[in-house]
Amino acid sequence: MLVGFIAWLRKHIRGLRNLLVAYLLALVVLDFLLARHHPHYWFDEVFAFWAAFGIAGCFLLIKASKGTAHLFLSKPEDYYGSW
């Protein structure tokens, strides 16, 4: 039953994707409609700030961590030997 449902979802991946894009747009539009209660800092008043923060932060994290890993953090699996 569960497997059938997931298979069905995977079959309609294109529709699912469109739905998700619509959802993302709705989140940004809603931000425009909702009033801000008590802003403390400048970023509390920027339109769609957390959407932008999400995009920038995620991009930065992937680039920074994968970059450092390839630079020097990652070693072969037997690096420590029997230690």
Residue ranges binding another protein (CB under 8 A): 2-3, 6, 20, 23-24, 27-28, 30-31, 34, 36-37, 40-41, 43, 48, 50-55, 57-62, 64-66, 68-69, 72-77, 79-83
Kindly state the smallest distance separating residue 11's Cβ from another protein, in Å. Answer: 13
- Dihedral, CA of residue 11, residue 13, residue 15 and residue 20, to nearest 10: 150
Which residues touch 32 (CB under 8 Å, ≥6 apart)?
47
Residue closer to another protein by CB (options 15, 64) is 64
Q: Which of 34, 55, 52 is nearest to 43 (CA)?
A: 52
Closest CB 15 distance from another protein, rounded Å = 16
